[in-house]
Amino acid sequence: MKQILFFIIALLCPFTSYGQNFTEWKDPSVNSINREPMHASFFPYENKEKAVEGIKEKSNKYLSLNGMWRFQWVPDLTDRPADFFKTNYDDKAWDLIEVPGIWEMHGYGDPVYVNQRYEWDYLMKPEPPVTPEKNNHVGSYRRSITIPDDWSGQEVILHLGAVSPNVYIWINGKFAGYSEDSKLEAEFNITSYLKKGENLIALQIFRWCDGKYVECLDFWRFTGISRDVYLYAKNKEHITDYQVTATLAENNKAGTLSVKALLSAPSNKSRILFELKNDKNDLLWKEEKAGGKALSVETSFEEIDPWSAEQPNLYTLYISLFDSKGTLLECIPQRVGFKRVEIKNGQLLVNGKAILIKGVNRHEMDPDGGYHVSRQRMEEDVRLLKESNINAVRTSHYPNDPYWYELCDKYGIYVLDEANIEAHGYEKIADMKEWMTTHIERTTRMVERDKNVPSVIIWSMGNESGDGMNFIESYKEMKKIDSSRPVQYQRAGKKSHTDIYCPFYVDYQTLENYGKSKEPLPLIQCEYAHAMGNSMGGFKEYWDLYRQYDNLQGGFIWDFADQGIHEFRNGKMIYAYGGDFGKDLPSDNNFNCNGLFNPDRKPNPHLDEVRMVHQSIWTTPVNIKEGKISIFNENFFSDLSNVYLEWQIQEEGVITRQGVISSLNIQPQERQTLSLDYQITDNGKETFLNLFYKLKDSESLLEAGHIVARQQLDITTYNWNVGSSITTEDQPEIYDTRYALEVSTPTALICFNKKNGLLSGYSYKGNEFMEEGSFLKPNFWRAPTDNDFGARLPAKLGMWCEPLMELNSFTSEMKNNTVEVKADYHLPECQADLMLIYRINAAGEIAITQSLSIKDTDKESFLPRFGMQITLCPGFNDIEFYGRGPIENYADRKLSAFIGKYNQKVNDQYYPYIRPQETGNKSDLRWFRLKHQNNNGFCLVSSKPFNASALHFSTKDLDDSPAKKQRHGLEVPSRPTTILSVDLVQMGLGCIDTWGSLPMEKYLLKDNRYEFSFTIKPVNP
């Protein structure tokens, strides 16, 4: 034990003065040279006024180094320039590159995406700490700057916000430092290297170094400078670091504020002034202390406004340092949020409440900037989180830009702060002693930087990096710095060095079993609901469990936004993914595109479901026909005083009555029964109550009128007998030839191909509906989704894709003034029999019954869908339907799609997922109408709810079977024809994962017999 403690102490001793030998990049015991110790994220302003403004760019002590730098890139490490850092080096022939800037996004090297493996695996097997020299690109930077004259006598710090993966630094030709860790800032005191006038800063970055062994993340493997670079000046006597602890008493009213500060050059004659102000700039407390190496203050408040994601109440602490003459040397502003985070009785508590984590994983990724994410993009992202009822974010899998935390503090987002450790390609590293330095440094430096951030409620030691002594010791060291927050790590399971059980991609049954247990740790999935492609089916069922069991407290969806990057091919913009660049490079395809939003932050269709499932206001009927409802406020800290209710009575898709409840003073976690001003008598029409909960006043990025929750409750049911039958007053005529059967009416002509038994033509009033050469065909297949490919369904269920249909018999006869056509088939590849029955009346209406009987041979087999498909001639551009909408929805993803009447364009039905796949379905339809541009058309009706879609794309257009191809949803050409699919059922989408799991059993089509009846009715113009 003594040996381990000695080893840890040795690891934590900083390298203060050390010359480089160019072996640092492959030595795991050396992660920095001359790098300043990590401190809390803050900026020391020269006066109180600028500290109050809080914009460091306006400070006289700040000098931005963002912008254009001289740059040279070489493909191999051995070709890097050896003396480029010298002041007399001629760099005129070099390129210019923008800083921050990612090499690959500027054309230097090809973007590579891999998931679990190292990007150099194709060159060599992982052998820590060795990385290849071949293809180890090196970028060299040079920039000359002039230090402001008024910085004379002050210490000058070089701040590198984030450099991937390492950086060597020279100032005026002299080596000044080295650093690894792509996602935390590195600072260097360069005062002794500077001179009056012009100064040269030179940097050199490698594509690969030993540190990349713990940066094997599931994202683009980019290189470069991704955050701000700047210089700042500080007095020789300055505050080096401080720790703010703002705790909340058990009564959630009283608070205690303690501050510990460290000074660089302590003097009893210097003074530090502490002031706490509220958001109205009222002074709540001030205290002055004489200077010293380390000092602390503490004060208490009887009444304080707590911080939570629902109510992000912030205070500002000003820490001012004065010299012996009373001159202000620096003033530091610090956001303060009073809160209490603890684990009790198997639950995570924030301010004493067992909150629900409605979270998402978020990578720092931009389709143009790569790792460099602008402040404007961050502001957009936090706004989207608030609009989407997402209250928590995991900084997967590294500490984020400090500005992100500022936004989360201000607008209210719980943060799970994660260390930059993922050794997915070599997880044994967790138990290798020579890597203990790396693990402890990366975890503790994160805690040191973010210890004062109010929004951080949980620390994470990293992701998918095995488990062993390095994490056990990291846990201990993190707790020494901050014991006020829990620490978690997924690979630790339920061991003592994790305070939260945080598995990922747990199925429903396993989740429920844990909910029923008496385990001492709360379960919060650090990743779940893999939102890849057309996904998020079954998301509601996850939340049914989270809301049922106290020790299940939600999780973090994977993930926020697709990681595609902008690329132009054949004049079209696409979102490029793995494999789109270079030749013979490793790739994991589009597996980095799993977002609720697309790369440009436009919502993917499944976001609607997440937004609604996550909402915190829920309504249940009490006496729905008389307008009595119960409203539950799921918030833990906020009442509903800033919310009003708009309600509507909807009959057969038409709003017939509406009203507003302006006062909803429902306390957190309480219910209230309300009476709405209506009474419903059953008039034979399907009736719903639509409810919309909206903000009265703007609140935390959300504008007044924003819908925070909505719901649809059924009052009376639909009469399924209306419209599904066909009339039989007159009699059609039959013309039977050798190759075809024609059924003629005064207004319609329906043709069948006797060779295959399928309907081959349908014209009404001289207008042909069907594309020439097409058929109304049974359809059992869908263009596989990413989840389908992950479960290998194209291989397992491929027999249902256009199966061989052997026609056993084809007959026709007149029955009760209708023509009845029967086609009987055997499907040998599927071991199934199929019967199609058509009943045609004199009005040209066709009632179709499709019956499928499958032999009970394979319990694991099932149908992707059961229905029919037809290709319509060009001109069918409009649809109208009564069912779930307005956007696409599916059996296991339809809670957010309200039943209503919708008018839409066929052009708008296709959603361009990153790679093409099933899209556009509408479920629970009562009827579905297609309209031709000449005003003719037809309507589909059934005696039970059905599905339909209308696209300018065929299933083949969107199908990559048997294996994914390098295609993109935005580049698939549309057709002039319209492909109509009408189904009784389609299997669910699922969301457990995208590497094997199926949708829930209840959303699979495993029956041996299916029958679907629907009617096609021509519509008069």
Dihedral pair phi/psi, residue 509, rounded to 5°: -70, -40
Amino acid identity, residue 306? P
Q: How far apart are CA 994 and CA 988, in angstroms?
A: 14
Of 762, 768, 734, 740, nearest in space to 753 by CA? 740
From first CA to last CA, the distance across the chain in angstroms is: 88
- What amino acid is encoded at 655 in this protein? I
CA distances to 423, 617, 773 from 571, rounded to whole Å, are 39, 46, 32
176-190 as b/e: b if 16+ CB within 10 A = bbbbbbbbbbbbbbb
- Angle at CA of residue 611, ends 610 and 615, nearest 5°: 110
Joined tokens for residue 869: 């498909």
**Taking the CA of residue 957 as centre, how many other CA atoms within 13 Å lie in the half-sphere pointing to its CB?**
17
Please state, in angstroms and rounded to a whole number, the distance separating the CA atoms of residues 384 and 596.
10
Does residue 527 carry a catalytic annotation? Answer: yes
Rounded-to-integer distance, Cα 7 and Cα 11, Å: 6
| Residue with the two structure tokens 């909910």 | 515
- CA angle 367-371-375, nearest 5°? 80
Q: Is 435 exposed, middle or buried (0-12, 13-18, 19+ CB in 10 A)?
A: buried
Report the candidate in 501, 446, 500 with the shortest Cα–Cα distance to residue 478. Answer: 446
Amino acid at 271: R
What sign does the CA torsion over 51, 57, 58, 64 have? positive
> Is 562:357 a contact under the CB 8 Å cutoff?
no
> How is 320-352 classified by DSSP, letter by letter?
EEE-TTS-EEEEEEEEE--B-EEEETTEEEETT
Residue tagged 């551009």 (tokens)? 877
Classify residue 768 as exposed, middle or buried by CB count within 10 Å of its CB (0-12, 13-18, 19+): middle
How many whole angstroms separate alpha carbon 451 and alpha carbon 479?
A: 11
Cα–Cα nearest to 844, from 764, 898, 903: 764
Q: How many CA atoms lie within 13 A of 719 on its CB side?
A: 10
Which two tokens mark 682? 């059953």
488's CB contacts (< 8 A; 6+ apart) are 416, 458, 459, 460, 461, 498, 499, 500, 502, 524, 526
Cα torsion for 374, 377, 382, 384, to the nearest 10°? -170
Determine phi and psi for 762, rounding to 5 degrees.
-150, 105
Q: Rounded to whole angstroms, how far apart are CA atoms 442 and 489?
A: 14
Segment holding 458, helix H or strand E: strand 456-460
From 24, 180, 330, 527, the catalytic residue? 527
- Secondary structure of 925-985 in HEC code, one letter for each residue: EEEEEEEECCCCEEEEEEEEEEEEEEECCCHHHHCCCCCCCCCCHHHCCCCCCEEEEEEEE
CB 300 within 8 A of CB 285: no
Edge-to-edge order in the sheet of strand 67-74: 32-33, 174-180, 166-171, 198-206, 138-146, 67-74, 95-99
- The residues with which 734 forms a beta bridge, in sequence order, are 743
Closest to 447 in 3D by CA, of 160, 164, 166, 243: 243
From 185, 215, 464, 609, active-site residue: 464
Catalytic residues: 464, 527
